[in-house]
A and B are shown apart, each in its own frame.
Chain A
Amino acid sequence: MKKLAILTAAVLLLAVTGIGSSVVSAQAVVDPHAPLDVVARHGMVAAAHPLAAQAGVDVMKAGGNAIDAAIATALTLNVVEPNASGLGGGGFMVIRFAKTGDVAVIDYREKAPASATRDMYASDQAKKELWTQLGGKAIGVPGTLKGLEMALQMYGTLTFADVAAPAIKLAEEGFEVSSELSGIIKDNYEKLAKYNDPDKVPYFHDGLALEPGDILRNPDLAATFRLIAEKGSDALYRGLVGEAIVEAVNKSGGNMTMWDLADYNAVMRTPVKGTYRGLEIISMPPPSSGGTHLIEILNIMENYDVKALGHNTPAYMHTLAEVFKLVFADRAAYMADADFVKVPVAGLTSKEYAKTLFDQIAPDKVLKELKPGEPENFEHESTTHLTVIDEEGNIVSLTQTINYFFASGVMAEGTGLLLNNEMDDFSTNPNSVSAPEPGKRPLSSMSPTIILKDGKPFMALGTPGATRIFPSMAQIIMNVVDFGMGLDEAIEAPRMFCSSSAGKPGTLFVESRIPAEVRDALTALGHTVSARGDYDSYFGGAQAILLDQSSGTIYGAADSRRLGAAVGF
């Protein structure tokens, strides 16, 4: 879709400059990965699908604020990017209000049903049959509708019917299936066909996956949105939609009740905060690990002259890999739902603690044994992402998910809703801090983030990508702050990822655009390096907005690793 934006931009450029089309090479015009910031003055939505971004802009043009627009965009994504998020899932939202500078954080992460037990996924049978990923046992109590409703009622200006109107229209009239979406449906065909009547799956035609160019309609989902507009979230949490969800979960091997749904609530959280080279980072606290570890990474990197290391040089990538490995050791040891477990957030985000991790990293040696640090000593006190800013300067950074593409594969019949497999984010180890328990929220990496400069909004960003989320965001932030890249250039730049598990270093994954000689140098240092695709969605699909306070210009950018688009006005 960026292709379309680039083409439009090129046409506008040619119109303005009067340059003939022969001057611009065709390849430059159609390259979907060419960095291009979308520029606007009044408002902007960056989302994972252009129709969803447009829905948000239309709502703002009709008088809605950033919160209204974010909800309209999120609901539209349920229709046009059904593989990644929807009312059958959960998420997180960070909102900053222009007038007061206050920040609101809404946690609408799924919860384990009351039937959950710490050892529910510990058996060999559970692991062999992928109980955490497929079917009813994988499904957590969904939270998205409660979260969106809370945001709309507390901070929005429009009704649910207003903000759902674009999504309802698209669900009823349909939209063209892209090659990418068709491929994702085909990839996930088996589970969708297994848990649902293939003739009733909206992503199928004649029982087979929709092909590129087909029209995808989901009238059941439109009817669900209409019912919610009439009855509120009770339609899902206490009504007919909920009954269909419970029936679908239990029919496919799970154990959920109407009580689980009625007991669900979105909650307000206190954001995690940190700084990076004078910028203020505001992000998502537990049960997401994302915000805490994003700050932890940046705190460690602040000890380096990042620019001098050089962008994506062996020295830079080695350093990042070591940092990521140490951070993942902490993640495994400490991170869980803070309502159930004491998480040492203050320690993990402290500069002093970061220095102890920095001291473990050598420029010429790879850490082979990873132990979690001792952040208590410093205690002082997946997925889609969208970013919205309105004319007043209110900002919403929202990340939500149903976990895997097409989630558990289970649809609640007659509702058009696909149900999450978020239980997969619990540990299968019953002794882990992140083992499932009744009502517990599974650990997440989602990191919707807002960054301030001199107390004023500078950037808002986020990305899908599971555990690659906060490492990718750290790279994007450093690309802007340390390497001076433009926003889209920072997003499109080649990425890397490394983690650790059970104290052992993981593979260092890089996009194949990282030159072979750099990969060889990293291998020589002792890393196990594996190249993935050129622009691989494994590393996320970031959507971001950057504000130039001096000129009042808003820059929007969306990741070409997925179908992202920024639309401004």
Chain B
Amino acid sequence: MPMQRYARSARLAAVLAVLVIACAPGLAADAKPILLTSIGQSAEASMIKQLCVRGKIPYELNALAKAEELAGGDKQPRYSALVAVVGGSAKGLGAAGINKEQELERSVALLEKARSLRMSIIIMHVGGVERRGELSDAFIRAALPYAGHVILVEAGDQDGLFEQVLAGKKVPIAKVARISETLDPLRTALGL
């Protein structure tokens, strides 16, 4: 009987272990998730979420994350990194009930707080040429100064804006051809 109880306990432990791994696969069970947010309210953050699922990167998606949500009660970061996917969308801003200025204010406050918490900040631009223009460029220019790493789909940087804004800073820029190829540089930037 004790053996059977032990076997049951072992099975239960194994099941629990599988569940824990399924919830946060690829990282240690106590690893903090990354905070995935949008800067500009385009839909690309959802695609990076899908990549995180496939790449087994624990994440929390909050397109409208606020600065005060970055730290817990212990004033320590609740997340392992801030991954900000940049791209302006008038439709997305409208759906969120905010305007460009309000989004810029939220984004800069969030990035400032992440920097003050010494979090790793990864800026991604994956929408290509369709996600450039006056609206998107305003968000790109606002976000890039906070970047620790930059990951780009290269079609979105045909005019070299990103290098131009980051000139003189030693920020690694990973350029890929497709969104699906951003997973590897994202894992690298996260130290995975």
Beyond A207-B50, A212-B155, whether A186 also contacts B127 by CB under 8 A is yes
A359 at the binding interface (Cβ < 8 Å): no
User: CA separation between A206 and B181, bound complex, in Å?
Assistant: 11
| 16 sampled A-B residue pairs with Cβ under 8 A | A179-B130, A182-B130, A186-B130, A187-B42, A189-B44, A189-B47, A190-B46, A193-B46, A193-B50, A198-B50, A207-B50, A207-B54, A208-B50, A208-B178, A212-B128, A212-B129
Residue in contact with A183 in the complex, picked from B46, B50, B127, B177, CB distance below 8 Å: B127
* Residues of chain B in range 122-136 having any CB-CB distance to chain A below 8 Å: 127-131
B9 at the binding interface (Cβ < 8 Å): no
Q: Mark A292-332, 1 if CB is under 8 A from B, else 0.
A: 00000000000000000000000000000000000000000
Q: Contact: B43 with A186, CB < 8 Å?
A: yes
User: CA separation between A518 and B178, bound complex, in Å?
Assistant: 42
User: CA separation between A207 and B183, bound complex, in Å?
Assistant: 13
Chain A residues contacting B51 (CB-CB under 8 Å) are: 208
B179 at the binding interface (Cβ < 8 Å): yes
* Residues of chain B in range 154-192 having any CB-CB distance to chain A below 8 Å: 155, 177-180
Chain A residues contacting B130 (CB-CB under 8 Å) are: 179-180, 182-183, 186
A209 at the binding interface (Cβ < 8 Å): yes
Q: Contact: B47 with A186, CB < 8 Å?
A: yes
A250 at the binding interface (Cβ < 8 Å): no
B118 at the binding interface (Cβ < 8 Å): no
User: CA separation between A188 and B131, bound complex, in Å?
Assistant: 14
Chain A residues contacting B131 (CB-CB under 8 Å) are: 183, 186
Task: Give the nearest-CB partner of B90 in chain A.
Answer: A532
Chain A residues contacting B177 (CB-CB under 8 Å) are: 211
Q: Contact: B155 with A186, CB < 8 Å?
A: no
A269 at the binding interface (Cβ < 8 Å): no
Beyond A179-B129, A198-B50, A211-B128, whether A190 also contacts B179 by CB under 8 A is no
B89 at the binding interface (Cβ < 8 Å): yes
Q: Contact: A186 with B178, CB < 8 Å?
A: no
Given contacts A187-B91, A189-B43, could you give 7 more A-B pairs where the C-beta distance is less than 8 Å? A179-B129, A186-B44, A189-B46, A190-B43, A206-B54, A208-B47, A211-B128
Chain B residues contacting A42 (CB-CB under 8 Å) are: none
A205 at the binding interface (Cβ < 8 Å): yes
Chain B residues contacting A188 (CB-CB under 8 Å) are: 43
The interface centre, meaning the residue of A180, A186, A187, A190 with most chain B CB atoms within 10 A of its CB, is A186
User: CA separation between A182 and B153, bound complex, in Å?
Assistant: 13
Q: Contact: A208 with B43, CB < 8 Å?
A: no
Residue in contact with B180 in the complex, picked from A187, A193, A205, A212, CB distance below 8 Å: A205
Chain B residues contacting A187 (CB-CB under 8 Å) are: 42-43, 89, 91
* Residues of chain A in range 183-215 having any CB-CB distance to chain B below 8 Å: 183, 186-190, 193, 198, 205-209, 211-212
Q: Contact: A211 with B179, CB < 8 Å?
A: yes
Shortest CB-to-CB span from B89 to chain A, Å, is 7
Q: Mark B26-62, 1 if CB is under 8 A from A, else 0.
A: 0000000000000000111011001100100000000
Task: Give the nearest-CB partner of B45 in chain A.
Answer: A190
User: CA separation between A209 and B155, bound complex, in Å?
Assistant: 15
User: CA separation between A187 and B89, bound complex, in Å?
Assistant: 8
Shortest CB-to-CB span from B86 to chain A, Å, is 13
Chain B residues contacting A180 (CB-CB under 8 Å) are: 130
Task: Give the nearest-CB partner of B63 in chain A.
Answer: A190
User: CA separation between A207 and B180, bound complex, in Å?
Assistant: 9
Q: Contact: A209 with B179, CB < 8 Å?
A: yes
User: CA separation between A179 and B46, bound complex, in Å?
Assistant: 19
Shortest CB-to-CB span from B174 to chain A, Å, is 17
Chain B residues contacting A189 (CB-CB under 8 Å) are: 43-44, 46-47
* Residues of chain A in range 147-191 having any CB-CB distance to chain B below 8 Å: 179-180, 182-183, 186-190
Chain B residues contacting A212 (CB-CB under 8 Å) are: 128-129, 155
Shortest CB-to-CB span from A63 to chain B, Å, is 40
Q: Contact: A209 with B47, CB < 8 Å?
A: yes
In the A-B complex, list the 8 residue pairs whose CB atoms are closest, starting with the nearest. Answer: A183-B130, A190-B46, A189-B43, A208-B179, A206-B180, A211-B178, A190-B43, A207-B50
Task: Give the nearest-CB partner of A133 in chain B.
Answer: B95
The interface centre, meaning the residue of B42, B50, B54, B180 with most chain A CB atoms within 10 A of its CB, is B50
Chain B residues contacting A206 (CB-CB under 8 Å) are: 54, 180
Shortest CB-to-CB span from B128 to chain A, Å, is 7
Chain A residues contacting B178 (CB-CB under 8 Å) are: 208, 211
User: CA separation between A49 and B155, bound complex, in Å?
Assistant: 23
Task: Give the nearest-CB partner of B92 in chain A.
Answer: A187
User: CA separation between A212 and B178, bound complex, in Å?
Assistant: 10
Chain B residues contacting A207 (CB-CB under 8 Å) are: 50, 54
User: CA separation between A211 and B178, bound complex, in Å?
Assistant: 7
User: CA separation between A198 and B177, bound complex, in Å?
Assistant: 21
User: CA separation between A193 and B178, bound complex, in Å?
Assistant: 18
Chain B residues contacting A193 (CB-CB under 8 Å) are: 46, 50
Chain B residues contacting A205 (CB-CB under 8 Å) are: 180
Shortest CB-to-CB span from B137 to chain A, Å, is 14
User: CA separation between A198 and B54, bound complex, in Å?
Assistant: 12
Task: Give the nearest-CB partner of B129 in chain A.
Answer: A179
Chain A residues contacting B54 (CB-CB under 8 Å) are: 206-207
Q: Contact: B180 with A208, CB < 8 Å?
A: yes
User: CA separation between A211 and B156, bound complex, in Å?
Assistant: 12
Shortest CB-to-CB span from A115 to chain B, Å, is 27
Task: Give the nearest-CB partner of A532 in chain B.
Answer: B90
User: CA separation between A189 and B38, bound complex, in Å?
Assistant: 14
Shortest CB-to-CB span from A108 to chain B, Å, is 28
Shortest CB-to-CB span from B139 to chain A, Å, is 16
Chain A residues contacting B89 (CB-CB under 8 Å) are: 187
The interface centre, meaning the residue of A182, A190, A207 with most chain B CB atoms within 10 A of its CB, is A190
User: CA separation between A186 and B45, bound complex, in Å?
Assistant: 10
Shortest CB-to-CB span from A359 to chain B, Å, is 36
User: CA separation between A31 and B120, bound complex, in Å?
Assistant: 44
Chain A residues contacting B43 (CB-CB under 8 Å) are: 186-190
User: CA separation between A180 and B128, bound complex, in Å?
Assistant: 11
Shortest CB-to-CB span from B22 to chain A, Å, is 18
Shortest CB-to-CB span from A408 to chain B, Å, is 15
Chain A residues contacting B129 (CB-CB under 8 Å) are: 179, 212
Shortest CB-to-CB span from B41 to chain A, Å, is 11
